Chain A
Amino acid sequence: MNNLFVYLEIEDGIVADVSLELLTKGRSLANQLGCKVEAIAAGINLEKVGEQIFPYGVDVLHVFDDERLAPYTTLPHTSILVKLFKEEQPQICLLGATIIGRDLGPRVSSSLGSGLTADCTSLEIGNHENKKEGKVYENLLYQIRPAFGGNIVANIVNPDHRPQMATVREGVMKKEIFDPFYKGETIKYDVNDYVNDKDLIVKIIDRHIEKSKVNIKNSPIIVSGGYGVGSKENFDLLYKLADLLGAEVGASRAAVDAGFAEHERQIGQTGVTVRPKVYIACGISGQIQHIAGMQESSIIISINNDPSAPINSIADYVITGEVENVIPKMIKYYKKNSK
């Protein structure tokens, strides 16, 4: 009872990275709280889930194996979590801030009347004092996230409602084996006790997964553009430099909103989190929502006409100038010196 639960996302029997990252974080929070880590697997082909997740320090795996649960639809998965949480009374529930987690989390939280914080960038344990009522809450989950378009960081707590629910994007937390020989217990459930026919009214007619052509997450070098790049045509310069360096092109939210780059290139709190060897930020002012998604890059080069752009303070190299002047020069001198 009162343990920490992680909802696992599983495709073709493989547990998603985001879920393993949450288990890693969950294990360290649970150690602080002195509680167990439990995981929920709902879907099909779940035989190999246990061996994938136990090394991350999972104590209990709850298995709901039924063909009606895959591919994911909202209602049956909601019913499983709601009933299981009423039985198990978890203190914390973590989900990936993915298309599934952001569909499921709010529905479950509404049904249970518990608080949910989306897209957390940090999770910690700490105390909270309600000065008005003179009440101190011990060991709450601090759910820390940028808010207001990333211009402030808010620390959010759920003092009175359980579970304390939070979603976290893929790549925000680190994935780390806790103990390769760790063994947990597996509990199998009869799905009929949790799901009824009314949960099955939404039918998936067709589904084609297209693997994304853009792979910024694993690219060692990223050339990234912001609103300051000015136009879609100027973005072509970024592609030219990226081609030369064997890099991928990324973009800030403002650049994506302005139509300069596709959505899947967006880096930041509401996009992808990256940790490349080199990050070249072109015309990016550096709102926290963007910085949150790239600050762990090893080397940051900022090209900006504003010498006081916030991103410059975290950059290793600051080039003050117009993007459309600087990038052609970088291309020219790279070609000249790289041979």
Chain B
Amino acid sequence: MAFNIIVLAKQVPDTRNVGKDAMKADGTVNRAALPAIFNPEDLNALEQALEVKDRFPGTKITILTMGPGRAADILREGLFRGADDGVLLTDRAFAGADTLATSYALSMAIRKIEKFDLIFSGRQAIDGDTAQVGPQVAEKLGIPQITYAESIENIEEKSIRIKRRLDNGVEIVECPLPVLITVNGSARSCRPRNAKLLLKYKHAKTVTERQVQNLDYIDIYDSRPFLNLTEWSVADVEADPVQCGLSGSPTKVKKTENVVFQTKESKHISDSDFEIEELIKELLENHTIG
């Protein structure tokens, strides 16, 4: 028994470690100041796929991502950890996509990949926190979805049993394949890069990367086909351009603002024993604490 698995992954700016230079003076985000990383919960999703492959050799994992050319970095990152193939969906026509237009594009790429039993993705991406793309892709493909998954309890040829993490408990659900599963951050962390795979896939590149970089070892891409990362455009996946990008997005950003707090008059206190004792006395006296 072996499975065909697609992992949906996104390259995101690391919004968790936003420094002072992350915002420009005009209140817009300075993307250049933020490192681009593999979306954390997508790594949890990749690990779930890799565990299926551990148990069922012959299982094939394809990582699919949509983004600019540099998003090929996360395809390589996936290969270093055990994925078999990477697909980059990239086209100017995808720019400005909201979750619905993104889901449409991804679903068209998945239709082109054609063979899949399982699709894993992270619960949500840290740049948007919407958790919408997974369920929307499932809907577009007409397959069921299991969200907030924490682990695979059992998998058989035609069905899977999943443990879901709810707000205040757990739920075990069983579902026929194919199914799309979004994986929670509470699931097992992804294994690190494998040194052998790192050597094997170090030079894996998309067509565009090979052209831009003017490599002198270009011959290896003919002799080692696994180094060719797939790159698809709107036309390659036969998507309707009107349903992609900004034009395919029902939601429009009317305005963004830098955040302004309602500032208060604060009382400033040093960390000296005297000042802290005075503060505690004041808080006790006015019954704020105690």
Interface residue SS majority, chain B? mixed
Of B145, B174, B251, B262, the contact of A203 (CB 8 Å cutoff)? B174
8 A-B residue pairs with CB within 8 Å? A74-B145, A110-B140, A149-B129, A153-B258, A158-B251, A201-B176, A288-B261, A320-B271
**Most-contacted residue by chain B among A151, A203, A208, A337 (CB, 10 A):** A151
* Residue in chain B with minimal CB distance to A103: B147
- Nearest opposing residue in chain B for A307, CB measure: B268
Of A25-33, A37-45, A112-120, A173-181, the stretch lying at the interface with chain B is A112-120
Interface size on B, residues (CB 8 A): 80
**Nearest-CB distance from B32 to chain A (Å)?**
14
A 273-315 binary contact with B (CB < 8 Å = 1; else 0): 0000110000000111001000100011010000000101111
Q: Is B240 an interface residue (CB 8 A)?
A: no
Asked whether A202 is an interface residue with its Cβ less than 8 Å from the other chain, the reply is: yes
Chain B residues near A (Cβ < 8 Å): 13, 15-18, 22-23, 27-29, 40, 98-100, 103, 126-136, 138-140, 144-148, 161, 166-176, 185-186, 249-259, 261-264, 266-271, 273, 276-277, 279-281, 283-284, 288-290
- A109-B136 CB under 8 A given contacts A317-B269, A334-B280, A337-B284: yes
Taken together as a complex, chains A and B put the C-alpha atoms of A103 and B161 apart, in Å, by 18
Chain B contacts for A336, CB-based, 8 A: 277
- Given contacts A204-B173, A319-B276, list 5 more A-B pairs with CB under 8 A: A152-B28, A202-B173, A210-B168, A253-B16, A314-B264
B172 and A207: CB pair below 8 A?
A: yes
Given the complex of chains A and B, what is the CA–CA distance between A279 and B258 in angstroms? 24
Q: Are A156 and B276 in contact (CB under 8 A)?
A: no
Q: Which of A153, A209, A318 contacts B168 (CB 8 A)?
A: A209
Contact, CB under 8 Å: A118 / B130:
yes
**Chain A residues near B103 (CB, 8 Å)?**
110
- Does A107 interact with chain B (Cβ within 8 Å)? yes
Q: Is B132 touching A326 in the complex (CB atoms < 8 A)?
A: no
**A191 proximal to B (CB < 8 A):** no
Q: Is A183 an interface residue (CB 8 A)?
A: no
Q: Which residues between 125 and 161 of chain A lie within 8 Å of chain B, taking CB atoms?
A: 128, 142-143, 146-161
Interface centre among A109, A143, A314, A322 (most CB of B within 10 A): A109
**Structural contact, B266 and A317, CB atoms closer than 8 A:** yes
Q: A102-B131, A221-B289, A277-B288 are in contact. Are A160 and B250 (CB under 8 A)?
A: yes
Residues of the A chain whose Cβ atoms lie less than 8 Å from the Cβ of B100:
109-110, 113, 115-116
- B146, A202: Cβ atoms closer than 8 Å: yes
Most buried by A among B17, B127, B139: B139
Cα separation A288 to B139 with both chains bound (whole Å): 33
